[in-house]
Structure 1
Amino acid sequence: RTALETDAPLSSDSESGRMEESSIRRSLETLCQELNMDEQTATEAMENFTAIWNTYTLEGEVVHWLACSLYAACRKGSTPTVGKGLMEGNCVSLTRILRTAKLSLIQFFSKMRKWADMSNLSQDFRQRMERLERNFEVSTVIFRKFEPIFMDMFQNPQGGEPPRQPRSRKHRRLPCHISDVFKFCWTLFVYTKGNFRMIGDDLVNSYHLLLCCLDLVFGNALLCANRKDLINPTFRADEPPPCVLERLCELHDGLVVEAKGIKQHYFKPYIQKLYEKQHLTELLDPQNFIDNNKAINREYEEYVLTVGDFDERVFLEADADEEIGTPRKVVHDQPASTTAQNQLQQHVEKSASLAPSTPLTGRGYLKEKDLLVTPVSSATQSVSRLQSMVAGLRTSPSDHLMQIFKSCSRDPSDNILTRVKTLGQAFKEHYTRDSEEMPGSHIDFAENRLKLAEILYYKILENVISQETKRLHGKDMSMLLEQDIFHCSLMACCLEVVLFSYSSQRTFPWIINIFKLSPFYFFKVIEVFIRSEEGLSRDMVKHLNQIEEQILESKAWSADSALWSVLQDAGNKVPTVEEVSSGPGSGSTSIGQTHLPLVALSPIIHPRIREFRSGLGSARKDVPPSPLSVHDRYSSPAAGSAKRRLFGDDPPTTGVTLSMGNDRTITLIPVQSCDASGTINAQFLLASPHRTASPSRVTSAPTTSDPPPGTGRPRRTGSLALFFRKVYHLASVRLRDLCVKLDIPSELRGKIWTCFEHTLVHSTDLMKGRHLDQLLLCSVYIISKITKETHTFHDIMKCYRSQPQASSHVYRSVLLPAEKSNQVSGEANSNQSAEEERGDLIQFYNSVFVLKVKSFALRYATNDNRADAPPLSPFPSVRAQPLSPRRVSQRHSLYVSPHKNSAACLTPNSYTYRINSSPSKELSDINRMIRQGCVSRKRAFTMEGDVMMSSACDSPSKRACPENGSSPDVLLKRLQDVVSERQSH
């Protein structure tokens, strides 16, 4: 057996094996009898389970794994029905299987993901499971919103026992109890949602559909059934009755336009059909309510058996906490289990589509979201933020942007307008089209999403071109504006942000797939987009950061990726860490006892979080140079090409020598860079006066245009170097985290890192169709084995699974092709068999990785003091990102920054405020400025003694305060909340 969960071998005793198999068969028979399962499905489930049982170590209760095997077998077939043809599955619902096996939904999803990997289930089945899990997550979140909203509108459903209906039909039926209305409203919602698959796993649309159901029931109670006794007397509707939809949106984080769109295009027509079919009559009328309730429940049960799988009425049951694996529904004044709440929170937060977790590369500057922020409010706030970003703008170029187009040597306006129209048509066609993966949406929603994306596209394009024009001192923009990939990528990025804001189920890479855009090309625009739009919410930044990581770790390495042809054009030479990193000697250098690690250029830092400093007074050793320009990203010439100087010669370098005492000096080398506003800044990097490169390291030969030693610039430039720089940074962050958790010392970490880099540079084909984490984990294991460290695969996997990006698919389903060459292939599909063979990470390690890496790794063996042990590659350092000045308001020039040594940067019009010492009048002035708009002089005040907050009408490029302090993220969050609140009022 291959044991990924544990290194302990399983017993091979034949007698005990027969006893185990007999026990398993009895468990499956009992399960199938209770479910009345057909013999064919039961036989298939047993065969599949036996195959997995003989291969893997299955932790936990056997019956739970049997339930997974049974569910997979149930969904493979189809059942003929009267009047509706063939129905998918065998009409045994997931809810029944889980109840019989006593397996909660959250446990089921966790185990089913592992089962899909172990049994290599089809992609269609995996997508079905993903939709089912997302639908469950959406329902869980919405039910938590449903109860307090219902209690805000109606009486408490827990108040008193409902009256018993008389058995005789001759007796007059009693009015429905509020608890019946509560259950009916939820059932109506889940039934309606189930009939609109394009809504079911979309959080924003589902939430607004719930508000429509509440609005309908409230109107019936108020007018049609005259049941004012059901309504909460404290609920006040400002609209003319019976419609309260706008009021609900106002009180409970809804978006009026979106809610009315759902009501108009989906809810009202569907309810009308139910009335026409007489499934519904007057909803709450005493003579009709029981029949209405039965009809809705009957229809919903049929839906669950044939399509839905998950019976969402489980939230209404008394034992919902056990069946779901989450806490019992929370009623006011009724505390819930803290442990169960944490389980729910962890499950919801784990879903990148509902609440994106902060990637490891972003945890230095983006903290996890406050647990008090609900996914619904977060989603609706994202839509609100998106709408505010495009408020007052149009779906066409502005006058200023048109002027830029006309100033080009070749006016690109016609081509750009045509391209946007063509891309928009492709988007609408795919967004509204039904497919096997997901149903189509209404054309009105497609046009609404496209409108927002087009406005955002022209806004970002104008910002990017304006910044590039300033950076290049008015050079012609024709070359950039004629880049089709740039425009296609930018439009795709805008649509991705819009879809994410609406919590759409069309998640990345859906948008680039319909545009037929390679992930390697799309990644270039992500950082450009983030740096060009200050209005992005924290979740938008995190989402784009996650997408960039997905591309760097796997999507850019697929067999058909454009990366391979780009590498071929570059001579199949993968750059080393030294060659793509900026810093002293492009690596670690010692000056006396001073260790100076290289500076990494990642992760993406949003301009609201970090702005580049200007002036010589801001010289800092930990400030990285500015990002690669847009021209360089989309004109990526090879190192040494004459095109590098197309837009001007490299600026001259002038060193500034600082004495550190004890006869030690450090040279500061200025590097020209561009800040977020497009202003050229003179920044400084630490450089060694004696820059040398180890002769044993493999590097590219210098060219005439390579920077001279000591300049602190990377020796490989362009988009390919940017890609590998980010790949190395991402790998280093994840490796650092693993080493901390495994207690691996820095020397051993250096060997692991060098082994990983060697693999990436000299055996690049190992990444084709695979995942960056797979090479990292194998590198950790092989060096641990060679150096006699006691880190088992079990230990490594345990630590890996704690990382936010970890997925069982990474180590359970690894590509195992027939490797024929150690060289980088330039052909998209070369050496790829038609049928992919996949196995677990240990199989990959033993059959592929060791064969390629063993000879190099053995040079680090602890019992062999060989003189030819390779020197350690420089390990990228993660430096604390400058926290200031950080802008806390889009409307006002309001910034927070350290106050230490601030006297050198304050202008004559400036003044300061210290929380513990300055008079309150200074704060009053700040408040007046926020209310009335910008004032003429610069304002600054200190928070908690060492943080300066400044507000000014001056442009950000004019600020040049030294950054020698830090500000807690909670302080910035508080300031942003205060400013946002004032702006909203």
Structure 2
Amino acid sequence: MSSEAQEVGAEVVASADEDPEKLSAKYENLCRDINLDKNTEDTAFKMYQKVTNNFSLEGNEKHWMACAIYTASRQSQTPTVSKQDTVMGSCLSLNNLLRSCRMSIYDFKTKIKQWCSMANMSEEFRKQIDNMERKFSITLTLFKNYRTIFERVFSCPPNEKKHNKYSALHSKCSYIKLDDICWRLFLCVKNQKPSATVDLVTSFNLMMCCIDLIYANVLAENRTDLINPDFPGVPEFSEAKPRDHCILSHFCDMADEAKVMKNTVFKKIIQAFFEAKTIYGNEETMLGLLSTENFERNHKSLNISYEQYVLMAGEFDERILAAYHMDANEHTNLNDQALRPPVTPLTRQQDLPAMSDRNFEPVAHATSNVKHLSAKFTTQPTDFVMQAGDEVIHKMLEMIGKMKQRFTTEFPIRSEAENRFKLAMSVYFSLLHHILLAEKNNKPNIDLKKNLSHDMFNNTLMACCVELVLAAYNTELKFPWVLDCFGINAFEFHKIIEIVVRHGTHEGRLTRELVKHLNSIEETCLERLAWLRTSPVWGMIADVETLPTSAEVNNDRSAGALQIFLRKVYLLGWLRIQKLCAELNLKDKMPDKIWTIFEHSIRVKTELMKDRHLDQIIMCAIYIYIRVTKMQDPKFSDIMRSYRNQRQAVNSVYREVLIKDNDGKPEYKDIIYFYNYNYVPEMTTWSIENLNKNLDRSDLLLSPHPIERQSQPKRLTSGLYVSQMSKNEFQPSPNDDVYSFHCSPAKDLQKMNEKVRGGKRLLNFNEDSPREMSYHLKQLKTVRDDRDTECK
């Protein structure tokens, strides 16, 4: 590293030394406490030592040991009783591990992700962690709904103490036992077919099917004392047809979809339980589950079945939720970002629909999103679109058919894939109609046939509609799954998002959450996915000598695809620089100077972005400015700490940065290493020449930063829109009354008088001397005087 590079380099934080004997004793005691097998114990400790040699681990040592033990246990295999097969994992109870380490579920979910990055775990294992976290978040959300619904349907008899643990000793089904078996039934049902619970709406419907089944069994046993008399769904009791009573329509906004699930997926799972002797009763009617002879063994059997699943899957034991009090506030320490309202992106906030007055409730909002997308459902092009001609429409429908085939093949639930794609197709035809209609209004001579012949436009629009449906159902298939499914690159996909937001919002089909989701995935494309080495953007960059500045792309009215892309990237970079600088208390001209560094790195040193993240370049730009200007603070660790508070922050951004790619074998290290060995050699000379504090830089011209565009018409309510008035739009008529607000007539008159008084007097006005008359006026006066004399 050159002397200049050393001057602006970042210090590497050294890891603290631990007493090996003390550490080993702690680890061994933990392993004995959870009865861990020897192979897993040795593998986990080697992994722990390797990570501690490379990283400084903050916090409780046992928490990081727990991460190592869990990771190692999921990599091992355990033989079955027959010795012929094996199961993944060492059958370690995750809840017991956390209990022994005194580690909360929230802490585990936070640290296991950091551990995966530091231990360089496989992408498959990381997906398992993400799925486990998401499943628990969905179950936690559903449990809150379950509590409310269960207490609306059932009630504790007056002679029974609601939370008396001794009441569970009686063989008769009590209120507390009914609650217990109902929740365990749902846990077993959803784990019987995990692919059936990939989204929140489907999981909620499945839970309602379980409550509905228990409700029918309570009626069949004539236990009306357990049913809430205030529940509006209570029927007139009939011993002949207790199973015919259905409560789904009372709680499911999409009751038809729930009833379809009840008669298909749910029915098959319950029948499989009967065949496997997981539950006992009348297999044909699915009744008798709560009878005196079946209740206890059903309760015990469901518990055993669920315990076996948890040990094999290595997941959280979700029965612990029932141990918490029913106050929703007590669950906040368990929840995370998985099912909270989506964060508001920095870009295009002006396009968001008006905020709802209701508090965010995941199930209700997911159902609302699906309902909005389902409005005006159609599976055929509109008459206006059909004007493009049979040949174009046939080609378009053929394209949709191919995409449908790929989607149904990749989607986890084959039975649900058809319905999901039908809804996406309905949204596609609706958006296509409004997009083409708007183009026709702007350009009356437009050729619809030509517009519909663009394959990439149709592919990306259809893919975007599929993404909207997946987001509405809150599915686990997160972006960019849809790009992988249809083979679309992020650079092409990002172009359609702004069009969909504009027309979908104006139509009222996209809720605020869905618009935020689309804006977020557009930012994902701009910050990372479009910069992958396989992206077509690199071919476009190679065709130009130097990339244009922000000012150039903003002033270019005939901008091409690359210029529009850079315009969005520049704006996103500037907004994030502002936020991060405000967090670091960097004020005055500092953000503008950091922006100038950032823009130079994008324009001239574009290769720094290849397979990397925009935020990595922003953090490096901030720190090189700090070093060049010889500021004492903030340190790089302060920048990373402030970055973690940003809405888009992800740990992998500063923990895993590409250093080099050796024949398809990428090498990753932390961002400080990247800054010292990749960023500094490229940016040091220019930064010192332009920003050195010791040099006279009065002639330095800072690059102008981007400015957000004006907002589109914003939909407040049905049929009511607010839009910003353009400068040339207001043309007052002299016959109309004009009202001016926030203006003072007295002040205006005063300004006019001052203007008149301050003007230059070109003529010498002398009031004492008579004014000299022009020649023509003199002649006119002579004629008039002569006529007056004649008249006299």
Give the TM interval when normalised to the shorter protein: 0.7 to 0.9
2:193 alignment partner in structure 1 = 196
The one of 434, 456, 471 aligned to 1:485: 456
Q: Name the SS of the counterpart of 1:836 in structure 2.
A: strand
Q: Distance in 1 between matches of 2:315 and 2:654?
A: 29
Residues 551-590 of structure 1, C-alpha deviations (whole Å, 9 max, x = no match): 000001111112112323x335422111111xxxxxxxxx
The answer to whether 1:395 aligns with 2:395 is no
Q: Deviations over 1:685-706 (max 9, x none)?
A: xxxxxxxxxxxxxxxxxxxxxx
Shift of 1:93: 2.4
Partners of 1:395 and 1:866 in 2: how far apart? 68
Looking at structure 1, the residues matched to 268 and 455 of structure 2 have their Cα atoms a distance apart, in angstroms, of 42
- Displacement after TM superposition at 1:836 (Å): 0.9
Task: Measure the CA separation in 2 of the matches of 1:296 and 1:757.
Answer: 61
How far apart are residue 26 of structure 1 and its match?
Answer: 1.3
- The answer as to whether partners of 2:252 and 2:258 remain within 8 angstroms in 1 is no
Contact residue 134 and residue 201 of structure 1 kept, 8 A: no
Structure 2 Cα separation of the partners of residues 262 and 500 of structure 1: 20
Whether contact under 8 Å (1:253, 1:377) holds in the other structure is no
Matching residue of 1:419:
399
**Following the alignment from structure 1 to structure 2, what is the Cα–Cα distance between the partners of residues 511 and 243?**
41
Does the Cα contact within 8 Å between 1:80 and 1:87 map onto a contact in 2? yes
Identical columns (%):
34
Aligned partner of 1:887: which letter?
Answer: R
Task: Report the equivalent of 1:442.
Answer: 414
**In structure 2, how many angstroms separate the alpha carbons of the residues matched to 1:8 and 1:59?**
16
Which residue of structure 2 aligns with residue 210 of structure 1? 207
State the shift of 1:550 in Å: 0.3
Contact 1:79–1:90 at 8 Å: present in 2 too?
A: yes
- Post-superposition offset of 1:733: 0.7
**Mapping of residues 59-78 of structure 1, within 5 Å:** 59-78=58-77
Q: What amino acid is the match of 2:404?
A: G
Residues of 2 paired with 1:452 and 1:245: CA distance? 30
Q: 1:134/1:396 Cα in 2 relative to 1: closer, same or farther (>3 Å)?
A: same
The SS at the match of 2:79 is: strand
- Report the counterpart of residue 856 of structure 1 in structure 2: 686
The answer to whether the 8 Å contact 2:74/2:314 transfers is: no
Q: 1:549 aligns with which of 480, 501, 523?
A: 523
**Unaligned stretches of 5+ in structure 1?**
1-5, 167-172, 321-327, 331-335, 432-439, 582-712, 819-831, 912-944, 947-985
Matching residue's letter, 2:254: L
Which of 419, 438, 460 is the matching residue for 2:431?
Answer: 460
- The answer for the alignment partner of 1:299 in structure 2 is 305
Mapped to 2, the partners of 1:149 and 1:796 lie a distance apart of 46
Counterpart Cα distance in 1 of 2:244 and 2:344: 37
Write the letter of the residue equivalent to 1:52.
V
Tell me, yes or no, if the aligned pair for 2:15 and 2:56 is still in contact at 8 Å: no
Secondary structure of 2:388 counterpart: helix
| 1:264 counterpart = 2:263 | yes
Query: Where does residue 675 of structure 2 map in the other structure?
Result: 845
Structure 1 residues 886 and 509, CA, compared in 2 at 3 Å: closer, same or farther?
closer
**Displacement, 1:280?**
1.4
Contact 1:204 1:379 in 2 (8 A): yes
Q: d(CA) in 1 for partners of 2:293 and 2:331?
A: 41
**Aligned equivalent of 2:364, options 359, 377, 380:** 377
Query: Is 1:792 paired with 2:638?
Result: no
Aligned residue for 1:643? none
Shift of 1:239: 6.9
Aligned residue among 526, 530, 534 for 2:497: 526
Which residue in the other structure is 2:750 paired with?
A: none
| Residue 809 in structure 1 maps to residue 652 in structure 2 | yes
CA RMSD across the alignment: 3.0
User: Is the Cα–Cα contact under 8 Å of residues 212 and 267 in structure 1 kept in the other structure?
Assistant: yes
Deviations 1:254-278 (A, max 9, x none): 4112212321221111112222333
1:462 and 1:728 map into 2 onto residues whose CA distance is: 32
SS at match of 1:140: helix
Partner of 2:81: 82
2:171 alignment partner in structure 1:
174
Compared CA separation, residues 192 and 566, structure 1 to 2 (3 A)? same
What is aligned with 1:577?
Answer: 550
Partner residue of 2:289?
283
**Taking structure 1 as reference, are residues 343 and 371 closer, same or farther at Cα in structure 2, changes over 3 Å only?**
farther
> Taking structure 1 as reference, are residues 898 and 748 closer, same or farther at Cα in structure 2, changes over 3 Å only?
closer
Q: Could you tell me how far apart the structure 1 residues matched to 2:246 and 2:253 are? A: 8
Give the Cα–Cα distance (whole angstroms) in 1 for the partners of residues 516 and 525 of structure 2.
14
Residue 871 (structure 1) aligned to one of 674, 693, 701: 701
Q: Judging changes above 3 Å, is the alpha-carbon distance between structure 1 residues 308 and 35 closer, same or farther for their aligned structure 2 residues?
A: closer
Deviation at 1:886, TM superposition (A): 3.8
Q: Distance in 2 between matches of 1:77 and 1:802?
A: 37
Question: Hey, what's the Cα distance between the residues in 1 that align with 2:525 and 2:161?
Answer: 50
- Superposed displacement of residue 758, structure 1: 0.6
Q: Which residue in the other structure is 2:747 paired with?
A: none
- 2:3 corresponds to 1:161: no
User: Which amino acid in structure 1 is aligned with residue 344 of structure 2?
Assistant: T
Q: SS in structure 1 opposite 2:86?
A: strand
Aligned pair in 2 of structure 1 residues 863, 422: CA closer, same or farther (>3 Å)?
Answer: closer
Alignment-derived partner of residue 315 in structure 1: 321
Question: In structure 2, do the counterparts of structure 1 residues 25 and 465 end up closer, same or farther at CA, with 3 Å as the change threshold?
Answer: same
TM-score for both structures, normalised by structure 1: 0.68
Contact 1:787 / 1:861 at 8 angstroms: preserved in 2? yes
> What residue is the counterpart of 2:145 in the other structure?
145
- Kept in 1, the 8 Å contact 2:67–2:115? The answer is yes
Q: Does the 8 Å CA contact 1:212/1:245 hold for their aligned counterparts?
A: no
State the secondary structure of the residue aligned to 1:838. Answer: strand
Match of 1:103? 103
In the superposition, relative to structure 1, how do residues 104 and 162 fare at CA in structure 2: closer, same or farther (>3 Å)? closer
Query: Take 1:558 and 1:158, find their aligned partners in 2: how far apart are those partners?
Result: 62
Distance 1:497 1:243 in 2: 37
The normalised TM-score by structure 2 is 0.84
Task: Describe the SS at the equivalent of 2:695.
Answer: coil
2:225 aligned with 1:229: yes
Q: Report what 2:583 is aligned to.
A: 741
Task: Deviation per CA, 1:854-887: give whole Å up to 9, x if none.
Answer: 01111244443245975211112347x659x643
- The equivalent residue for 2:343 is 357
The answer (yes or no) to whether the contact 1:579–1:716 under 8 Å persists in 2 is: no
Instruction: Write 1 or 2 for the structure with the bigger share of helix.
Output: 2
Q: How far apart in 2 are the matches of 1:481 and 1:8? A: 55
AA at the equivalent of 1:555:
L
Is the 2:379–2:425 Cα contact (8 Å) retained in structure 1? yes
Q: CA deviation at 1:750?
A: 1.5
How many angstroms apart in 2 are the aligned matches of 1:162 and 1:11?
Answer: 50
Among 715, 721, 741, which residue is 1:887 paired with? 715
CA distance in 1, matches of 2:598, 2:106: 36
Counterpart CA distance in 2 for 1:365 and 1:10 is: 46
1:412 match: secondary structure: helix
Listed as ranges, the gaps of 5+ residues in structure 2 are: 1-9, 281-287, 743-792
For 1:375-402, what per-residue CA distance to the aligned partner results, in whole angstroms no more than 9, with x for missing partners? Answer: 11111111111111x33xx312122211
Q: Structure 1 CA distance, aligned partners of 2:519 and 2:24?
A: 48
Is the CA contact 1:245–1:259 (under 8 Å) kept in the aligned structure 2?
Answer: no
Q: Distance in 1 between matches of 2:152 and 2:444?
A: 60
Which one-letter code corresponds to 2:306 in the other structure? Answer: Y
Deviation at 1:757, TM superposition (A): 0.7
Q: Does 1:767 align with 2:597?
A: no
Structure 1 residue matching 2:547: 3-state secondary structure: coil
Once residues 847 and 513 of structure 1 are traced to their aligned partners in structure 2, the CA distance between those partners, rounded to angstroms, is 33
Report the Cα distance in structure 2 between the residues aligned to 1:158 and 1:817, rounded to whole angstroms.
67
